Amino acid sequence: MLVTRINPEWSWPRAQNVVVNVVVNEDVTDVTPPASISCTATAKATTPHERSALHRSLMRSYDQYAQYKDAKEAERMIEAERMITEWYQDHGPLRDDATVGNFIRESSIVWWVVNVLDRLGGIGAYSNEEAIQPGDIPILVGDRLFVEVSEHPDESLAKELKDAPYSRILAQVIRHINQGLHDNATLTNEDPWDIPRNHFGKKDPSKLEKNDRAGHKISTVAQPRNLIGYLWLRIQNQFEKTPDINYYPCSNFENCDQELPIMSDVSRRKWCSDACRMR
């Protein structure tokens, strides 16, 4: 069974009244409660059609936060609060049981994996690097091939992956993707009625003509359990298509920070959403 589509009926609410309870303490102990994040949901939602490269937005958000890696804790927490608040308002919480630590940790893993995939595909900051075709590299060559990638945010893994060959780095990327999908996504079957879809890919009964006969068509789709699950599904898509995939900015990129994927057989869209198009 080949599953290539994310359930177009899925959506995830954005947030308002976001409160990030940060803890600034140079002597944090094991009994210190985790810094929590609270918010209320809005009527606006994140939709797959309008956020087809949302994993890259989180990668860039964490990249800005990472610039404060060596700053004082108070400065890091201020930047963390800014990043989380903006993300919640623009896109929504990654999961229900949100804490500052979990958000930073999950964002850092997404950041590292996407950076590695970009390096292998010659995308973005690595556009001057030679793209690598993972499926065409023999095992022995992969064990001897060294590529420079970003340092892993986990200190123990950073030590393991320092000066590691391509095959070791690729194996770690796959472990992260497998874990992200296992924990945050599943499979489901769409409503079986075979009726016309709207431009978001959702089945729309209003588009049925008076004399149309709707039959049954069974389609299995990937179903995110939460927003981080959707991001891992988008990462999986980039992984599968590497190096034959690239990304380009929405025409309103300065305001929306959204990219769109492009393949050789897909025509380009100018905007990520109707909201950007109308601006």
Calculate what percentage of the chain has a pLDDT beyond 90: 59
Query: Above 90 in pLDDT, residue 23?
Result: no
- Specify which residues 259 forms β-bridges with: 249
- Between 219 and 148, the higher pLDDT residue: 148
pLDDT per residue as tens digits for the range 168-180:
999 999 999 999 9
Q: Which of 15-24, 26-35, 262-271 has the lowest mean pLDDT?
A: 26-35
Query: Above 70 in pLDDT, residue 37?
Result: yes
Q: Which of 18-22, 101-105, 162-166, 217-221 has the lowest mean pLDDT?
A: 217-221
Look over the chain and give the mean of its residue pLDDT values, rounded to a whole number: 87
pLDDT per residue as tens digits for the range 253-268:
999 999 999 876 566 7
DSSP states of the chain? -----B-TT--EEEEEEEEE-----TT--TTSPPPBEEEEEEEEEE-GGG-TTHHHHHHHHHHHHHTTTTS-HHHHHHHHHHHHHHHHHHT--SSSS-BHHHHHHHHHHHHHHHHHHHHHHT-GGGTTSPP--GGGS-HHHHHH-----PPPSSHHHHHHHTT--HHHHHHHHHHHHHHHHHHHEEEEEPPSEE--B-TTS-B-GGG--TT---EE---EEEEESSHHHHHHHHHHHHHHHTTS-EEEE-TTHHHH--EEEE-TTSPPPS-SSHHHHH-
Query: Above 90 in pLDDT, residue 61?
Result: yes
Among left, alpha and beta (phi > 0; psi -120 to 50; other), residue 10 is: beta
Calculate what percentage of the chain has a pLDDT beyond 70: 86
Token pair of 32, please? 């210190």
pLDDT per residue as tens digits for the range 202-224:
776 666 666 566 666 778 899 99
pLDDT given at position 109: 98
The answer to whether 123 and 246 are in contact (CB under 8 A) is yes
Arithmetic mean of pLDDT, 32-55: 87
pLDDT given at position 212: 64
- Between 125 and 213, the higher pLDDT residue: 125
Query: Above 60 in pLDDT, residue 30?
Result: no
Cα 67 to chain centroid distance, Å, stands at 20
- Between 72 and 184, the higher pLDDT residue: 184
Cα 193 to chain centroid distance, Å, stands at 30
The answer to whether 275 and 251 are in contact (CB under 8 A) is no
Arithmetic mean of pLDDT, 21-42: 71
pLDDT band at 199 (very low <50, low <70, confident <90, very high): low
pLDDT band at 31 (very low <50, low <70, confident <90, very high): very low
The answer to whether 255 and 279 are in contact (CB under 8 A) is yes
Closest CA relative to residue 36, chosen from 113, 112, 97: 97
d(CA 157, CA 81): 26
The answer to whether 186 and 180 are in contact (CB under 8 A) is no
Query: Above 70 in pLDDT, residue 57?
Result: yes
pTM equals 0.89
